[in-house]
Amino acid sequence: MNIDTGRVLRAAVFAAWAIFFAYLRISGDMTRYLGPRTYWVVTFGAVALGGAAIAHVATLRTQTEPRRPTRAEMASVATLLIPIVGVLMIPSAELGALAASRKLSSAGGGEVGAFAPAAPDPDGDISFAEIQYANESEEYAAQAGVVEGTPIRLTGFVTHAADAPGEGFDLTRFYVSCCAADALPFSVRIGPSIGLAPLENDWLEVQGRVARDESGFYVQAQDISEVPEPAVPYLY
Amino acid sequence: MASSSPTVMLRRPAGNLLLGGMVVIVATLVAAARLAGIGRSALAETFVLIFTSIVVEALPFVLLGALVSAGIAVLVPNRAFERLARLPLPLQVPGAALGGLAFPVCECGSVPVARRLISRGMHPAAGLAFMLASPIMNPIVLASTWIAYQGRGLALQMVLGRAGLGLLLAMVAGWAIGGEGARDILRARPDDEHPAPATPTSPGDRIRAFTDHLAADFYFMGKFVVIGSALAAALQAVVPQTLLSGVARTPVLGALALMALAFLLSLCSEADAFVAVSFVQFPIGSQLAFLVFGPVVDAKLAFLYGATFRRRFVVKLVVVAAPIVLAGSLWFEVLMR
């Protein structure tokens, strides 16, 4: 009875991916890569890949001469492990100002804005999307309650940082549907305030009131504090 | 040659050495990258995050496709495919395309299944029609399209437009490209030379044959998903998408621009409607072009197709798909005005 080295190799890769998916699920790190719509994929991946690994381990022994793994198979193994190696190299990667600048849906006077939903939730919180939608539609602004003087609290990261202390900047948050590849940035302009000069990608909590000028709605900050990146970095 | 010795032995010391070497190299690379602070580069972070997210989302679907494909290989008897192959082609192609309605996986899962169906005797035209239709027409994709466009009061129109144009594209492309025999369209794979027993009888043989087919498909498709995802992530991290917004208002250029963007982004067809709906400055027809072209041709799929099918398949597919999607999206625009 021989052990098939090719199957050992395949079982190891299945197991590596199953462990990686299980880690994403247990640690909660899947929120960095996926939206809630596709969280189930991680559970399915951990279980199914784990099952495939077990099935391979159960059939490692062969009566025949085991076939040697070819160079192509070794290359396949290496290629399939690249994403896991990438995560080990950069374990806490995040989408920031650079990613926002590359995306088509830009906010607050960008060239392409997001469409405003027909019926906002009148009892819902006002957040990045509501402010941006309100800039596109007066009707939506009225329905969503985006009016001057409304108190607001936003947590996001800085894009278009101020050139000098006290100047305004943009606060941005990504909205994700399925995974980070479909993330869309929504930004809100934070008006000149309090002599602060936050840097790009700094995570801030801004409390203030909705204000409006010729460019549209923005937030006049009353209090700005630096905060750590939220456990769930995206909005949905 | 069968060994009569009961001793368990590893036959491949050189292979084990190579494996050990790989582990050491990877461990060294990871440590070096962390020490060098590569994670502090915004470009590297953006690339790794998008790359990993595409692979993490796609790989379970590849596995699902490989599971179905292995099931077809091991559990479905040859006579079923022989009966299917005897059906007239004008019945096979639309039937296969409509079969996509019952196969709720995205494009990564449909490729291994189509390959298996064609290699087992389904006419290539029908196999391709199934492969191209299922990522557009499956119930999850149509439901997500409905939800995404509900807010604009265009849910029914977009679902019908997407399903109708997707079905048309799948059938025409299937007929145009899949007219040749399986040998002329499928690229030979190394594991084809070492097939599992065609009709495994004992449960042990069946499990072994099933896992062999599963692993062969998963490994083969998976590596190209990884390579394609890396390309898509690099394009997303480097190319500013605002380059395309200058042509947003022109229907023809707008449709072409969003088709190019669909290729570049390589989004899962179950999520792309939520992205398409945000492109408000593009005409609705252009958004439809994005939704129909993306699931059929994108950067990630180009690698998968290149490995599955013979040379120039991708070029042929683009030559057939682009005019159909462009014309269809423009007519959709006309009807919507």
B232 touches chain A (CB under 8 A): yes
> Could you give the percent of chain B with pLDDT greater than 90?
24
Chain A interface test: which of B25, B29, B57, B208 (most A C-beta within 10 Å): B57
Full 3-state SS string of B200-259: CCCHHHHHHHHHHHHHHHHHHHHHHHHHHHHHHHHHHHHCCHHHHHHHCCCHHHHHHHHH
pLDDT tens profile B197-223: 455 667 777 778 888 888 888 888 788
ipTM of the complex: 0.89
The confidence band for B101, taking pLDDT boundaries of 50, 70 and 90, is confident
Q: Which of A41, A75, A118 sits opposite B151 (nearest CB)?
A: A118
pLDDT interval class at A110 (50, 70, 90): very low
How many Cα atoms sit within 13 Å of B284 on the Cβ side?
Answer: 18
Q: Look at A177 and B245; give whichever has higher pLDDT.
A: A177
Query: Which residues in chain B have their CB less than 8 angstroms from residue A177's CB?
Result: 271, 274-275
B residues 237-276 closer than 8 Å to A (CB): 237-242, 244-245, 248, 261, 265-268, 270-272, 274-275
Instruction: Give the integer Cα–Cα distance in Å for A174 and A229.
Output: 13
Distance CA(A130)–CA(A127), nearest Å, equals 5
Which one is predicted more confidently, B253 or A104? B253
Q: Which chain A residue shows the shortest CA-CA distance from B189?
A: A72
Residue spans of the domains in chain A: they are 2-89, 97-226
Per-residue model confidence (pLDDT) at position A133: 83
CA distance readout (Å), A5 to A13, A16, A61, A71, A230: 13, 16, 9, 13, 44
What is the distance in angstroms between the Cα of A64 and the nearest Cα belonging to chain B? Answer: 4
Give the domain ranges of chain B.
42-336
Looking at chain A, the whole-number percentage of residues with pLDDT higher than 90 is 32
- In angstroms, the CA B73 to CA B94 distance is 23
State pLDDT tens for residues B228-239: 888 888 888 888
- The secondary element (H helix, E strand) that includes residue B324 is helix B313-336
Distance from CA of A111 to the nearest CA of B (A): 7
Evaluate if residue B261 carries a pLDDT over 60: yes
Name which of A48, A59, A115 is nearest B60 (Cβ-Cβ): A48
In chain B, what residues touch A117 (CB-CB under 8 Å)? 151-152
Provide the CATH number for the domain formed by A97-226 in this structure.
2.40.50.140
Among chain A residues, the shortest Cα distance to B207 is held by: A55
- Rounded to a whole number of angstroms, the distance between the first and last alpha carbons of chain A is 54
pLDDT (tens digit per residue) in A55-82: 888 877 777 776 677 777 888 888 999 9
Residue A144 is encoded by which pair of tokens? 């969503």
Asked if A41 and B67 come within 8 Å (Cβ–Cβ), the reply is no
B319 contact A CB<8A = no
Token pair listed for B202: 């004992």
- Computed over every residue of chain A, the mean pLDDT equals 83
Q: Look over chain B and give the mean of its residue pLDDT values, rounded to a whole number.
A: 82
